[in-house]
Chains A and B, each alone.
Chain A
Amino acid sequence: MSTLRALAKAQAVAAGVAQPVATVRHLHLSDRPLVLVPLAMAGEANAPLAALVGAAPDEARLLVVPQPRNREQRLAFAAELAEAVLPHLESFRGVSEAVPVDRGRDVRYRYVDAPQLIVPNPAGITFLRLLGRSTRFRRPDGEYPVHPSVPLLGRWLTFFAERAEHPGSAALVALTEALTLHWATGQSAVEDLHLPALLGWLDPPPGTTGAEAAARAEDPQTCPPAGPATDPDFDNHRLAPAMAAYAEAEDDPVARAEAYAELERLLRGQLEPTWELMWRGLGLLRALPPGARVAGRWAGDRDAFTGYAEHVDAGGGPQPRRDGAVAAAVRLHRLERALASYAVQRAYDDPLVMAEHRLTGEAFVGDVTLADPKRVDDSGKRPVLRPRIQVVTTEPVLVPVGATLYSPARPAQKAKVVFVTPAADGKTEVVLELSGGMGRGLTAPPGSVPEVGERLCLTTLSDAYLPAGNFPAPEETPWTHGGPPAEAV
């Protein structure tokens, strides 16, 4: 928790309403996100109980499992969910765009849009991950055949759950996390996991404070939990009798239909309040303008979607239960790079996020007081353009001489610190030598060198491309990591 965010939380307590911690939206929002609110049966290993799913507020489709302990009914649920999810995914596989690769020597294709799944909270992501795990190895043939859509759904859910671990990805989003990325409430992080309470702080009803609205949202009688766990009182006093009635009516089609209708009514009653909150939360996020680098990250999601769709088309197998040593190292490396780049991109996109880095001395803002845009360094073999500028700042400058700084306004340009001189009134003068982002000639194009009077943010954070690490092929796994994997039997 940065001090800046913590201060926003303190301000939220005093103001009685959540406070912004971002000025732009840091994630892509689809025009037609597939909202999914799952419920699980208490005590079972991820047994689905019910779900509301749909891509628009008035398109909620209710799925119900009358007896979640029954495996066939669980698989029927998976098949029904596949009917709702797979066509949605397929609908994004129409139009592709060409992307140049290998410095323009080659080209690859990716879909111009990709599906986005939204669940209420991180536990909802875990639910989908486990549902994917329990269905992706199922087979349409053999001893317990399932509908072919079930393992396919399992593979796609696993794809989305793995994507959700990727920092900056918006393929599968937990709404509580998306909201707390942009607003700070006056309650703790644990309490923020409860979507109704979180929205109570974000958008309290007229005449109430966020704290009051959140307290009201904590009562499961008036505000059912956002799942996947259900309210124990609901289980004991309403769901259990309804399930028993359904089981007892086995031989009586009329009574059975009635019992089923009652179960549907009960579960819809638990799910619908969350459904409303999901769209309200999405509306709040949609009102924020997207950050400049959001589209680039979404392109990464589109790449991943395209890649996995091609993998499935080519008859590729389901994701393994556990990664091998090399695959795990590659994944970790990819996640680390994504995490670093995501943090930098958010700071570049959003002055309020950059302020967190300014507070810790990783960035400062100052005014350009001197500029020599024509300066040429001819000490080397070839003369090169190396303009110098002087920036005066009131903020503490913790970077050493020789450090390389970057500015969000000109991300391709490097600024090397040449002198740091304390000046009057606690100000600091910093002289910087610029390289890059100014074309190939010895004259800088207009606008490529900061001019006197410009206000500039300089930071050690770099959004430059980080080359990927080198990893051995799986069959060359070193002995320190278990050696090459045994041949699959």
Chain B
Amino acid sequence: MTDTAQRLAEIRGGVPPRRHNARTIAALTGNPGCTRRAVLDSAGVDKPKLAERIGFPARFGQSRFAITRGNAFEAQVKADGGVELLRLVAERLGVPVPAGASWTDLGGDEDRPERSRAALTAPGQGAALFDHPLLGLDVAGRRVHLEPDLVAARLGGRFHVVEIKSFPVIDGQADPAKVSAAAIQSAVYVLALRELLSTAGGDPELVSPEVVLVCPRDFTNQPVASLLDVRRQLLVLRRQLDRMARIDDLLAAVPAGFTADPAADPAALREALSTVAARYAPDCLAACELAYFCRHEARGQTAALGRPVREALGGVDGVDEVLALAAGERAPEPEQGEAAALLRAAARLRADALAGNPS
């Protein structure tokens, strides 16, 4: 075990690292500047448990109705050996619909990584659909296995990632937040699939950056396919994974003896966490299990009010500092001169208008 691995194991406590999936890897791209998150995720800390232990449980429940619906739609689309799926994908890609395609379910076996590699890199040009391929990705120096709920379609010699999602596309439009979440998840798969091909000596560019998204159309159960270009997401992902690969740099800033072992004393954990810098933003609430703790910690900071607010306040960090500058009770730092003048003017105008002076 390397020093780094040893250090990460200490941080994690006496438990195996939490497994990543495409969703957690995709979430890593959410707030790339946050050291606390990068360290905890690299160590594979059980963040939901940790958050609960320190008294700030995450609220990421999923309704069983949504899960049932998602599974039913997926089963429906994949039915009959993927005939319907093949037609949808081929038509969307603008290639002639092949007379037939092989359907390989790579799920459910013990030797899946091997089988997946063999199946996906086997020579062959014919149309083929691979369900549940097991893919791997290096995250923070550790091999992570992804069990994507996806189909890799080989059509015209190229691979396309096919994602089946149960949110509707109504009159050609879907919920933008759900589409962008699907895009970044798909990008994880594209990346892993490319890696698999290139390690086997193949051409990674055979995996198209255009992902096929299959969703129900309008208010029906009929599937409709759309194309998503995930090139931008691939760049973001690549950068964050590279950053996590340089975990040693990050660990250098972490005090020795830091632990996030959920078995430790809650007060000690809170104390320890506060020694690793976080960069809280309101968006974290939707993406990170630790967000409620970080929000509590960031109370009184302008960043907790959102980036636009912080920027409008001239980038000044603390709420107290803002109010003191606005009231002219505090001498601005050299670089705060402009912000302080703006805040003073704002405070004067606000007081003026609230006092009912005519304007």
Which residues of chain A have a CB within 8 Å of any CB of chain B?
1-11, 13-14, 20, 23, 41-46, 130, 133-134, 186-191, 211, 218, 220, 230-233, 235-236, 240, 321-322, 351-352, 354-355, 358-359, 365, 408, 455, 457
Interface of B is mostly: helix
20 contacts between A and B (CB under 8 A): A3-B346, A4-B346, A6-B312, A10-B309, A10-B319, A10-B322, A42-B65, A42-B66, A43-B65, A46-B168, A133-B170, A133-B171, A190-B306, A191-B285, A220-B59, A232-B63, A236-B64, A355-B350, A455-B359, A457-B359
A189-B306, A235-B65, A236-B64 as given contacts; A13 in contact with B300, CB under 8 Å? yes
A123 to B157, alpha carbons, bound, how many Å?
43
Residues of B167-197 at the interface with A, using a CB-CB cut-off of 8 Å, are: 167-168, 170-172
Contact of A232 among B61, B69, B171, B323 (CB under 8 A): B61
Cα A134 to Cα B216 with chains together (Å): 14
| B168 touches which of A5, A7, A45, A232 (Cβ 8 Å) | A45
Q: Which residues of B contact A235 (CB under 8 A)?
A: 63-65
Within 8 A of A (CB), among B59-73: 59, 61-70
| In the complex, chain B residues 313-359 whose Cβ is within 8 Å of any chain A Cβ | 313-314, 319-320, 322-323, 326, 342-343, 345-347, 349-350, 352-354, 356-359
Secondary structure call for the A interface? helix
B302 close to chain A: CB less than 8 A: yes
Chain B: which residue is nearest A365 at the CB level?
A: B359
Q: Is the CB of A231 within 8 A of B170?
A: no
Q: Contact at A352–B64, with CB atoms within 8 Å? A: no
Interface residues on B, range: 35 or more
In the complex, B166 has a CB within 8 A of chain A: yes
Residues in chain B near residue A408, CB distance under 8 A: 359
| Contact partners of A355 in chain B: CB under 8 A | 349-350, 352-353, 359
B residues at A contact (CB < 8 Å) = 59, 61-70, 166-168, 170-172, 216, 218-219, 282-283, 285-286, 299-300, 302, 304-306, 308-314, 319-320, 322-323, 326, 342-343, 345-347, 349-350, 352-354, 356-359
Instruction: Find out whether the CB atom of B66 lies under 8 angstroms from the CB atom of A1.
Output: no
Chain A residues within 8 Å of B319, by CB: 10, 13-14
**Bound Cα distance from A351 to B320, whole angstroms:** 26
Ranked 7 nearest A-B pairs via Cβ: A43-B66, A232-B61, A42-B63, A43-B69, A6-B312, A45-B168, A188-B282
The listed residue (A1, A7, A8) touching B343 by CB distance below 8 A is A7
B353 touches A351 (CB 8 A): yes
Measured between C-beta atoms, what is the minimum distance from A235 to chain B in Å? 4
Is B354 touching A352 in the complex (CB atoms < 8 A)?
yes
Pick the contact of A9: B67, B286, B309, B352 (CB < 8 A).
B309
